C-alpha cells in the first residue's frame, strides 16, 4: 500500500511539471510572437529613407491602420489594431503628418503616433518684404492649398516665422499674418512716446516701412527714424529712394539702378516729389522699425548716406552731409577701380542711389559742393505749423 502511494504522488508531480513546461513553452512562443509583431523590422520605404504619412483629425484606429497599410508603412491592419490595443495606445494615437523611417517596427510606428512627433513645416516672411512677396512665398509652398485671389494691403502682414500644416490653405496663413500684425501694432502703439511725429497707427506703419527699407541694420533704425521725424517736423521732404522703387514695382525688387525719369516721376509714393508721407506703406515693417518710429531718439540729424560697409553715416548739417556724400562717391570709385576724382560709376540711364539727395539741385548760398557730390533740396521756408505728436 505504501509503495502505491509513492507512485501516485510521483505521477502528480510529473503531471504538474509537464503542465508547467507546456505553459512556459506557450508563454515563450507567445512572447516570441509578440516580439516578432511589435519589434521586428517593418516594410522598407517605397522610395528614399522614409515615408511621409498624413493622418486626418478624427480618424479612428481602423482608418489610421488602413492609411498606414496603403502607404506601405505596416504589413497588416489587424496586427496594427491588435498591437495598439495590447499596448493601450488605441485611444492615444494623434493626427498629423508623420515621417516614418524605412523598416520602422510596428512598436516604433505606434510610439511615433502616440508621442505626436509630427513633421513641422515653417514659412518665414522677412521684415521689409512686401505683401506681393508674401504671396510669392506662400505660393511656393507645395504643402499649402488654395489660391490668394488678391494681394493683401501693404503693411497688413506681420513679418515672422509661422508654422504651417500640410493641406492648410494659403488664405488661412495670410489671415494669421494679418491677425498677428493687428495685435502687435496695437501693443506697440500703446507704448508710443509723445516725441513721435505720426498721428495714427496707419501713419506709423507707413513711416516704419520706409525706415525698414532704408537700413537692414537694427541699431540704425532709431537714428533713421529720428532723421525722418526731424525732416517731417521741419517741412522737408523725406527723399527716400525705396519710395521711388515702390512706385515703379509695387513691392518687387527693381533689379537695377533708379532711372532719372523714375526719380522725377510724380507717383503717390515718390517722396522726392511729394510732401509728407506716401498714402500707404511700401513694405511690411517689423517690430524694431515700428518701435523706432513710435519712440524716436531726440537728435538734430537731418541727413544720412551709405558708408561703404552696409551701414550709414549721419550728419546734422548740410555741409557735413556733403562731405559724407563725397566720401561715399570715392568709395564707389575705388570699388569700380577708377582713379580719384573720376566720375562715379553709373548704369546708363540711371541715377546712382544716394539717400536724401536730389541730382542737379542748387546748393544753398555759401556752400561749396565737393566734386561728384549731389545736393539735397531743402525748402527755403518752413511751414507755419508742424505735425502734432500723437496723444
Mutual angle of helices 287-294 and 170-190, in 10-degree steps? 30
Backbone angles phi, psi at 331, to 5 degrees: -60, -40
Q: What is the pLDDT of residues 45-79, one digit of tens each?
A: 998 899 999 998 889 999 999 999 999 999 999 98
Q: What is the pLDDT of residues 240-298, one digit of tens each?
A: 999 999 999 999 999 888 899 999 999 999 999 999 999 999 999 999 999 999 999 99
Which pTM was predicted? 0.73
CA 187 to chain centre: 20
pLDDT over threshold 60, residue 387: no
* DSSP per residue, 308-337: SSSSEEEESSHHHHHHHHHHHHHHHHHHTT
So what's the pLDDT on residue 23?
54
- 386 versus 335: which is more confidently predicted? 335
Q: pLDDT grade, residue 306 (50/70/90)?
A: confident
So what's the pLDDT on residue 351?
46
Q: Which residue has the cell 513633421?
A: 119
The per-residue pLDDT of the chain, averaged, comes to: 82
Close Cβ partners of 378 (under 8 Å, ≥ 6 residues apart): 236, 318, 364
Q: What is the pLDDT of residues 121-147, one digit of tens each?
A: 899 999 999 999 999 999 999 999 999
Outline where the chain has alpha helix (H).
2-38, 61-70, 77-86, 106-115, 131-139, 170-190, 201-214, 221-234, 241-249, 260-264, 287-294, 318-335
Close Cβ partners of 178 (under 8 Å, ≥ 6 residues apart): 152, 156, 157, 158
- 31 versus 13: which is more confidently predicted? 13
pLDDT over threshold 90, residue 149: yes
CA 298 to chain centre: 31
- Across the range 2-12, mean pLDDT stands at 57
Q: pLDDT grade, residue 356 (50/70/90)?
A: very low
Nearest CA to 238 out of 276, 291, 282 is that of 276
Q: Is 191 helix (H, G, I), strand (E, B) or coil?
A: coil
Sign of CA dihedral 243, 244, 245, 246: positive
Q: What is the pLDDT of residues 154-213, one digit of tens each?
A: 999 999 999 998 889 999 999 999 999 999 999 999 999 999 999 999 999 999 999 999
**Residues written for the chain:** 391
Q: pLDDT grade, residue 333 (50/70/90)?
A: confident
pLDDT over threshold 90, residue 113: yes
So what's the pLDDT on residue 371?
39
Highest mean pLDDT out of 3-17, 90-104, 282-296: 282-296
**Contact in structure between 53 and 73 (CB atoms under 8 Å):** yes
Amino acid at each position: 500500500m505504501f509503495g502505491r502511494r509513492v507512485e501516485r504522488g510521483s505521477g502528480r508531480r510529473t503531471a504538474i511539471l509537464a503542465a508547467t513546461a507546456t505553459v512556459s513553452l506557450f508563454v515563450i512562443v507567445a512572447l516570441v510572437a509578440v516580439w516578432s509583431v511589435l519589434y521586428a523590422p517593418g516594410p522598407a520605404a517605397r522610395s528614399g529613407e522614409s515615408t511621409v504619412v498624413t493622418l486626418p483629425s478624427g480618424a479612428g484606429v481602423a482608418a489610421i491602420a488602413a492609411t498606414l497599410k496603403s502607404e506601405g508603412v505596416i504589413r497588416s491592419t489587424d496586427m496594427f489594431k491588435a498591437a495598439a490595443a495590447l499596448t493601450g495606445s488605441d485611444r492615444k494615437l494623434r493626427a498629423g503628418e508623420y515621417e516614418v523611417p524605412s523598416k520602422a517596427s510596428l512598436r516604433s510606428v505606434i510610439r511615433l503616433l502616440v508621442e505626436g512627433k509630427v513633421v513641422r513645416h515653417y514659412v518665414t516672411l522677412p521684415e521689409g518684404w512686401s505683401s506681393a512677396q508674401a504671396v510669392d512665398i506662400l505660393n511656393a509652398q507645395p504643402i499649402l492649398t488654395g489660391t490668394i485671389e488678391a494681394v493683401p494691403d501693404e503693411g497688413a502682414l506681420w513679418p515672422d516665422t509661422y508654422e504651417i500644416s500640410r493641406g492648410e490653405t494659403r488664405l488661412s496663413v495670410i489671415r494669421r499674418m494679418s491677425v498677428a500684425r493687428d495685435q502687435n501694432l496695437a501693443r506697440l502703439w500703446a507704448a508710443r512716446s509723445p516725441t513721435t511725429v505720426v498721428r495714427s497707427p496707419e501713419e506709423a506703419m507707413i513711416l516704419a516701412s520706409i525706415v525698414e527699407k532704408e537700413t537692414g541694420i537694427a541699431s540704425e533704425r532709431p537714428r533713421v527714424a529720428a532723421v525722418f521725424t526731424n525732416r517731417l517736423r521741419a517741412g522737408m521732404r523725406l527723399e527716400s529712394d525705396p519710395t521711388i522703387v515702390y512706385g515703379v514695382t509695387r513691392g518687387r525688387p527693381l533689379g537695377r539702378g533708379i532711372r532719372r525719369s523714375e526719380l522725377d516721376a510724380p507717383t503717390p509714393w515718390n517722396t522726392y516729389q511729394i510732401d509728407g508721407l506716401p498714402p500707404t506703406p511700401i513694405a511690411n515693417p517689423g517690430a524694431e522699425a515700428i518701435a523706432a518710429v513710435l519712440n524716436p531718439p531726440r537728435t538734430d540729424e537731418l541727413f544720412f548716406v551709405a558708408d561703404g560697409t552696409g551701414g550709414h553715416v549721419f550728419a546734422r548739417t548740410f555741409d557735413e552731409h556733403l562731405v559724407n556724400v563725397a566720401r561715399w562717391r570715392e568709395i564707389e570709385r575705388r570699388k569700380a577701380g577708377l582713379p580719384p576724382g573720376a566720375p562715379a560709376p553709373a548704369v546708363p540711364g540711371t541715377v546712382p542711389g544716394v539717400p536724401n539727395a536730389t541730382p542737379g539741385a542748387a546748393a544753398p548760398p555759401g556752400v561749396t559742393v565737393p566734386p561728384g557730390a549731389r545736393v539735397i533740396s531743402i525748402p527755403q521756408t518752413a511751414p507755419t505749423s508742424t505735425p502734432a505728436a500723437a496723444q
